[in-house]
Structure 1
Amino acid sequence: MKQTFDVLFVADPRFEGGSSTALALELRVAARAGYRTGLMMVRGPIIGHPFPIHPEIREVLDAGLVERTDPDAEIQADLVLVHHPSILDNIMRPRPRVRTGRIIVVLHHPVKDATGRIQYELEFIQKHAAMAFGIERVDLAPVSQVVRDGLPVLLPNGARVLSENWDNLIELHRWPRRKGRSGNDTVIVGRHSRPDPKKWPDTLDEALLAWPDRLGRRTRMLGGGPYLSEKYGALPPHWEMIEFNGEAVSDFLSSLDVWVYFHSSEWVEAFGRTTLEAMATGVPVILPEHFRCLFGDNATYAELADVDQAIADLTGDPDTWQDASDRARQFAERHNEHQFEQRLQRILAECRQNGGVAEIGSGIPGPKFLPHLPDANVLFVSSNGIGMGHLVQQLAIADRLPTGLRPVFVTFSYAMKITVLSGYPTEFLPHHRNSGMDAKDWNDHLAEVLLELLLRLQPRVIMYDATAAFDGAIRAFQTYDAAFSIWVRRAMWQESHRVFLPALNAFDAVIEPGELAEELDLGPTTSQRERVLEVAPVLHIDPSSRLPRPMARQALGLSEDAIVVAMQLGGGNNYALDDLKTRIVEGLLENSEVLILDITSPIRTGVLSEKPYAERVIPIELFPAFRYSNGFDAAVSAAGYNAFHENIIGGIPTLFVPNEGIDMDLQVNRAIWAELAGCSLVLRRDLHQPKLCELLSQLLDPHARESMRRACRLFASKKNGADEIAAFVEDHARLHFTDRNPAVRQ
């Protein structure tokens, strides 16, 4: 496969702040100008947290404005534009197959921070760029005079600095100007930034000088979080804290009268995109003096001790405020996005005069066809000796992968037929409890089998879904380090599972599906929450994809007049529920209108009861049952992750019977939460049987069921975590890596 571009952007798209915002702007502008652009995504060394792609870059990709690249694709590009030098700190792997005539590395950060510590080595940046793209000369583009002034006099051989700064730019239509203000209005002061303690003054006393408590003022902060309490302790009550992305930035800025920004003495602000956004909105800004070289006479400068008076001076007179607002907006207008289009036009003209290689690039806007990328395997490995939740969760993700990414399954679950019937290659490996092997021998065998599969399949991504992080699996994944490994683990662990916590360090990323009942999660994983990527609850079937009630009932052969109760209590392999189930069935059947849909588990073990089913009990193996759930009036269900979230988000009035076996997650806490939220009822086998009749009466009461449905609607989610995880997998299946030294230790 060959991809041909006018411009190939090379970047780590996970940065939260200005560098990603600047990249997204350039991608949009290049597309509007008609240039064919590619995005080579690189996992760099700075961001250890498994951040997803920045939302603005995701929008550009989803809109088809830029083509993804793939490590196996041959690429020709007139210009390679590398955003942020840190992604060249290490050798890029795999080596890109790129032919180009020019490389520009945009320096989004100074070479040294305020304490003099080196942030990146220009010698390595030049050398690794040359190694990756096969061209010796590398142009360096500082984003501001601050970055330019920090460059050494002597540059590495093969490196040169562009004569113009690669200024941060802004799309003015995205930043509508706020209205003027009256001198009698309450003064609203604020700031915003990504959540980084270095973006704030060193001490709380300094911060209180920048954002003091004054009568007639409000203080709003966008980008707060627990990190700030760790830095300062108890936060001032007059600070209105809004978490990062908790409010649209343009709306937030429009609410302000004055923008005040001061940061740590250890930080050097390369440009200050957030300040530019405030100025584009027409908000006067107050900054420390060292920002003058960036914003000139278009901002107000003050020492911390003088900020209070500077705010009063700006807001005390409407004409003074309006003049400052006009200067701020005019500065932003001089930094509009058309500058990038003109800059790109000049640079590409130079490239083609010097023999560009892309052989295209009319600059004429028009429809674009995004080519099919090379096929690649994704290996799904899951446990499940008791239930089938891990395998179903993986199926939800596999079903959402784009064309070209081929799921292959390895599972310990006896429910493997659900992936086989879905058309996916599947291999079954018995858990050591069912294999006749002791744990050590089984782990050795597991490592050998998985490694053989990895070498044969050469997957780009490994998806491991289990609570138990088996030693054999980890050894295989670490031996075959060409794949990006992801551990998808649920919350609600029991304390006995704490032994698996260190395995977090064995994976490239850990993803935690959303848990509605997270307030009642007392498990060990809560201590690692900041090191995982949390997504929305994962559902195999989207609620909107369920069959309408008449179609569901017709498909199941159910009378429209019956009260249909779906019963799904799991396989009963580790937690005996047969006696309780019998009592539940008898109690439900006392109502002559009830039909019980007894959904049997495909992995149930042991001897089935020889007792005949009652006339109004319909045994059925139904997967996925949720697809038909609009046809249910109520449910009796275990509180495993999948069934719990389907029933709550799907608005199914449910009597949850938690499986409280020692091998399970904390199902009982889920059930308790749902009852307290008004979404369901809870029946614990060993505590609540005396009130069984009362609970069943409530479940069959139409008013009680409607009340539960209304409560469930509060937790209906527009997002499905399966979509988020599938996108994360797609991104990492097409990545290059510079996050670590590729050297092998013998």
Structure 2
Amino acid sequence: MPVTVYDVAVLADFRQPGAASAALAAEVHAQAEAALSTVLVHVPAPQQPAGPLGFRHRISDLLRAGAATLARDDQPVAARLLVVRRPWTRPAALSVRAERTVLVADRPPAEPAVYEQARHCFGAEAAWAPAGPRAREQLLRVAPDARIDPDDWHEIIDVAHWWRDRDGFVGDEPVVGLRGPFPVDLGDLRVRWLGDTSPFPQWEAVPFGAELPDEFLRTVDFLVDFQQTFSRSALEAMAAGVPVIVGEHLRPFLAGAALHSPPDGVPALVREVYADPERYRAVVDRAREFAERHYGHRSHLVRLARYGIRPRINVPGPRRELVPAAPAGPRRILMAAEDDLSLLLAVARRLPAGLAAVVVTQSSEAPIAHREGFLTEYIPSREALGVPEPRWTRLLRDRLAHLVDLYAPEVVVVDGLPYEGIVRAVRDHPGVTWVWMRRAMWPRGAGAEWMAAGRAFEHVLEPGEFAALADDGPTVAERSRVHRVGPITGLDAGELLDAARARAELRLDDRPAALLRLAPEHPEAIERIAAHLRRHGFQLVLAESPVAATPMPSVAGARIVQPHPIGRFLRAFELTVSTAGYQAYHEHLASGVATVFVPDRRAALDDQVGRARYADAAGVALTVEDPASAELDQVLDAAVRPEVRAALRRRCAELTFGNGAAAAAAWLSGLTARVRG
């Protein structure tokens, strides 16, 4: 008797509760939409109580609708791809044959023996696919030798099923849905708590199962979910048109699709957004687009294609207005940065038409690139993963190799340290033109090993440095093969707002204003500087990155703002106090604003002290090397004097450097033309 070969076989315990069954059902539904055949292989998990089959209703609905077939115990199963979702074992009597196998892990096992058992059951070629960054970290820690899929196997959702276009709010006052642990009361807000017993008596408890998730979402205006990871409940709310409020720790992953607040700030945020229907609708629209683009059915079909399973019919993409089709896809240039994306984005914005940048980063700034419209890929850093260096080297090499194969770039630019994993990727792809964007101002004696590694690159691009004469880094001989451009800044002079408009947008009054652009890890220094400037009548603004891992400390009498890029607003200020990192340093000098530089000594391979000293010696800025010393008061006493600030502005006006970003973009474009012949 011939055996039917299914496209996908799913091995799981189909009695799994809530989110697990919803995620699985969404994948099967996406496969059915693409005319792919699916067979469900039920294997009871050891920890589940014995008893009759009690499949979740979502699974039963799929079987009744014919979207999937249930495997029989007495017949063998054959499939092109076997997807295993706990348990990661199978009974000896079960006959399942598949060309490829992937083991999906939302909560990877902590016992190494489980991975050996899975290898025995499914073969050494079976790949583990983590459901997200935390699962990937666990896999790499516990099973560093396991074969791990380079991409996450995240949950998906059918946005069209969940979406509800609302006429207005639920009632005359905002209604907040709340799921998961939450530490504070929400005052007089009406709260619907999803759980059996609410932690506060005035909250309405909605026992699990009493309402279907879509029914529950129709009764609330916001969903508050402060779990450590991005939950399926939050994803369902986004798809259903309900704004989600989550913790700051998820800001880098949600690209503006959610609202962020500490727990005690939730009531004020709810009332603020509720009172602004346009902002509410904008959040809803961004969230729906985010859910559809990153977690819709197409994202699942893309990962199936990596395992050789492709749709048998075309699947409609996200609904949006029709636009004229482009005659051909753009040429690609891959631009990779370790953390600070400012220089790469400045160059990427100025690439000529027909040459598109794909941004690759280990930084929490990835959402900034995504919001600016760039294809963006995130590679977790070694510190984020907590893995040994050899494992990290392999991971970095493999991930870069995968992106080169995926996007087929003509040129790859690496801004940052040329780690061994990067160098191996360079050597493995001799047909690609590799460029190292190497910044100056390394401390004396630092970076010799990086200079040696950088020789693997065919080309070196060096952004200009105003303090180049103070550079104790690479020698002239080492720079002989470098292409140099002027200092690179994110904005050209004409893109800065004039003083009146910048002050109006920042809601500043008539008092002199000072901008503090400092590292949030030094709250004592920030408080001391702020107190000094307040005594001299300055109104204070603290600049915070919209994706900062460490929030800016609260300072009495100061406002924290997140305009991006902050450089657009520099003309609003009579005085700025800033670190001396490359981007901030050259932005402040080019804008002509009077500045006190406070170098951040934590930057091991960026000589901020040398850069700040040079600005002081050149008369274009003042410098405080140790903000804990008496020097701080002396320098600030000088900086608050109008005649001192006027002298600094006049000296800055004598500078002649422009923005080297356009020259860098033109040079890179020339390299791509050379590659194309």
**TM-score normalized with structure 2 length:** 0.50
Higher relative contact order by CA 8 Å / sep ≥ 6: 1 or 2? 1
Tell which structure's C-alpha radius of gyration is larger.
1
